[in-house]
């Protein structure tokens, strides 16, 4: 027992755990403990205190483990992790979910219950890390220094490798319909993240209404194709252009606001555009949205089973292939991949141009920029407009891929998700955005059938990643150049 609590203040631990238990009990007592049930006479309450008990037990074990981890002691968390894992694994492996042991598995679906292992796994991992570090601290520190030196090389190599893998994926044996579809969605968000990164990461403007420009792009293509019958490839640049002009028109009055005021105004604009889309029924179809949006073609060759009316060939017949819906999915994947890579290339290049330098300088110190003769409004407008343009591109692709859009797809939470991708990835880091988009968008896509728990975990993961790495997963926010490079003695 003494070994278990080595380095811990037992009384403090007890107080900590008891406090957490009491607070959890009070917090969950009404909201979770009493279920509101609709009856014929109105609402009535049905108690279900076993779930409260579950919450309290999880919090008690978790808070004890976290307390010990914070105090850099690993034995207790190790034990908690092992006990939790055993409690969960026994019913999971035997499939006996009705046993008394299974009360820690709250989910109605069996595969979801495996997710419950996340908590003990995390505790075990951290405890293992601490045990390792306490055994040989100097070696680990030296290794970390070495890593940071070669970090840049590694991230470049990793980027190249990822690009190659991304191009090869659909034709590789792993490329199934479902996987390519999920990756297409992830790529849309990567592109949006890279676009927003110009505004937030480079220019340092907090934009909470980015989804508005995404909506403008999507509706531009949908409406242009509906009213004029224009094809995707004509509308794509137009959609970007529309979104950019929207960005500039909206940005003009508000860009002299600072920081959080800008945030709330952009949020307001996002909502305004959505409200207009919902209520302008004659033009946008209102909440019903727009359906039947044509899919993009491959240099005029449509992806259809049968030849289009009035002759012409389809993609399959032109290349002498048998028709396969997978062709279209893979094609859409390549379109968004190229679009996203273009965004990335553009960002990397523009960082080296005067305007990119001006963005970074403005982000670091606005007053100094003004003193040096930069016009902050113009520089910010450029960032706003260019960021909006990429959202417009992504939006028109989104409309083409879905074939149906409605204001439902452009709610505030989307803006929040895109912003989270940028910040979780590490502001200004292109590679980090790929990782965080994969975590935030890709992983939940696999768990689609677990709808409710998915978003719960999504919020929790956002909080946890931020606490774990407040500067983002891949954090380097250094300006591209410095007057006095680090390490030259100044």
Interface residue list for another protein (CB under 8 A)? 23, 26-27, 29-32, 34-36, 38, 42-45, 200, 206, 253-254, 256-261, 263-265, 267-269, 271-272, 275-276, 278-279, 365, 367-368, 412-413, 416, 419-420, 423-424, 427, 452-453, 455-456, 458-463, 466-467, 470-471
What is the C-alpha separation between 225 and 231, in angstroms, rounded? 6
| Pair 407, 287: CB distance under 8 Å | yes
Q: Which is nearer to another protein, 123 or 400 (CB)?
A: 123
Nearer to another protein, 271 or 324 (CB): 271
**CB nearer another protein, residue 44 or residue 99:** 44
Closest CB 200 distance from another protein, rounded Å? 8
CB of 460 to another protein, least distance (A): 5
Closest approach of another protein to the CB of residue 417, in Å = 9
383 three-class SS: helix
Minimal distance in Å, beta carbon 32 to another protein?
Answer: 5
Query: 267 vs 293, which CB is nearer to another protein?
Result: 267
* Rounded distance between C-alpha atoms, residue 242 and residue 216, angstroms: 7
Q: Which is nearer to another protein, 290 or 423 (CB)?
A: 423
Question: Residue 388 or 418: which CB sits closer to another protein?
Answer: 418
Q: How many residues does the chain have?
A: 490
Q: What span, in angstroms and rounded, lies between the C-alpha atoms of 200 and 205?
A: 5
Nearest-approach distance from CB 447 to another protein, in angstroms: 14
* Nearest residue (CB) to another protein, 174 versus 468: 468
**Is residue 93 within 8 Å of residue 79, measured between CB atoms?**
no
Residues 6+ apart with CB under 8 A from 414: 211, 214
Shortest distance in whole angstroms from residue 9 CB to another protein: 19
Q: What's the chain's Rg over C-alpha atoms?
A: 26
Of the candidates 229, 245, 198, 199, the one whose C-alpha atom is nearest the C-alpha of residue 392 is: 245
DSSP H helices, 255-299, are: 259-279, 281-284
Choice between 463 and 483, CB closer to another protein = 463
In the block, residue with structure tokens 């800008």: 262
CB of 173 to another protein, least distance (A): 37
Question: Taking the CB of residue 215, how many other CB atoms lie within 10 A of it?
Answer: 30
Nearer to another protein, 420 or 430 (CB): 420
Task: Tell me phi and psi for residue 38, to 5 degrees.
Answer: -80, 125
For residue 209, the tally of other CB atoms under 10 A from its CB is 24
120 and 84 in contact (C-beta within 8 Å)?
Answer: yes
| Minimum CB distance to another protein, residue 142 (Å) | 27
At a CB cut-off of 8 Å and minimum separation 6, what does 391 contact?
A: 192, 195, 196, 210, 211, 213, 214, 216, 217, 243
Comparing CA positions, the residue from 461, 387, 471, 463 lying closest to residue 429 is 471
Closest approach of Cβ 146 to another protein, in Å? Answer: 26
Residue closest to 204 by CA, chosen among 331, 374, 387: 387
CB of 313 to another protein, least distance (A): 47
At residue 24, what are phi and psi to the nearest 5 degrees?
-60, -40
Q: Which is nearer to another protein, 32 or 241 (CB)?
A: 32
């Amino acid at each position: 027992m003494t070994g278990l609590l080595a380095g811990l203040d037992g009384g403090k631990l007890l107080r900590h755990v008891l406090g957490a238990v009491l607070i959890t009990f009070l917090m969950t007592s009404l909201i979770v403990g009493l279920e509101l049930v609709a009856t014929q006479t109105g609402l009535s309450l049905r108690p279900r205190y076993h779930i409260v008990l579950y919450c309290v037990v999880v919090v008690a074990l978790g808070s004890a483990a976290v307390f010990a981890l914070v105090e850099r002691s690993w034995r207790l968390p190790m034990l908690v992790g092992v006990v939790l894992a055993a409690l969960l694994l026994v019913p999971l492996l035997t499939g006996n979910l009705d046993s008394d042991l299974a009360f820690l598995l709250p989910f109605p679906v069996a595969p979801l219950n495996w997710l419950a292992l996340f908590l003990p796994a995390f505790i075990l991992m951290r405890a293992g890390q601490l045990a390792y570090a306490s055994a040989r601290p100097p070696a680990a520190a030296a290794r970390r220094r070495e890593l940071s030196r070669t970090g840049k090389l590694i991230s470049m190599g990793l980027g190249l490798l990822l690009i190659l893998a991304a191009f090869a994926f659909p034709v590789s044996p792993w490329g199934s319909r479902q996987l390519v579809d999920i990756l297409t969605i992830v790529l849309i968000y990567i592109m949006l993240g890279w676009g927003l990164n110009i505004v937030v990461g480079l220019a340092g403007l907090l934009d909470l209404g980015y989804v508005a420009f995404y909506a403008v792009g999507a509706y531009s293509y949908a409406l242009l194709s509906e009213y004029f019958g224009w094809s995707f490839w004509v509308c794509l640049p137009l959609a970007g252009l529309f979104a950019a002009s929207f960005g500039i028109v909206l940005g003009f009055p508000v860009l002299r606001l600072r920081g959080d005021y800008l945030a709330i105004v952009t949020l307001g604009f996002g909502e305004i555009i959505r409200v207009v889309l919902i209520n302008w029924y004659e033009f946008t179809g209102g909440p019903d949205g727009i359906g039947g949006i044509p899919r993009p073609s491959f240099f005029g060759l449509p992806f259809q089973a049968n030849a289009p009316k009035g002759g012409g060939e389809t993609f399959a017949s032109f290349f002498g292939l048998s028709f396969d819906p997978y062709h279209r999915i893979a094609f859409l994947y390549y379109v968004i991949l190229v679009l996203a890579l273009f965004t990335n290339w553009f960002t990397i290049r523009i960082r080296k141009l005067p305007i990119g330098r001006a963005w970074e300088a403005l982000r670091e110190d606005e007053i100094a920029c003004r003193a040096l003769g930069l016009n902050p409004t113009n520089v910010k407008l450029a960032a706003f407009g260019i960021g909006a343009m990429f959202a417009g591109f992504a939006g028109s692709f989104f409309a083409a891929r879905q074939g149906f859009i409605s204001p439902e797809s452009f709610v505030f939470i989307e803006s929040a998700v895109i912003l989270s991708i940028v910040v979780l990835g590490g502001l200004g880091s292109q590679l980090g955005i790929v990782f965080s988009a994969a975590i935030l968008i890709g992983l939940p896509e696999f768990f689609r059938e677990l709808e409710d728990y998915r978003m719960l975990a999504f919020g929790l993961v956002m909080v946890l990643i931020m606490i774990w790495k407040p500067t983002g997963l891949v954090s380097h926010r250094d300006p591209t150049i410095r007057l006095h490079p680090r390490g030259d003695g100044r």
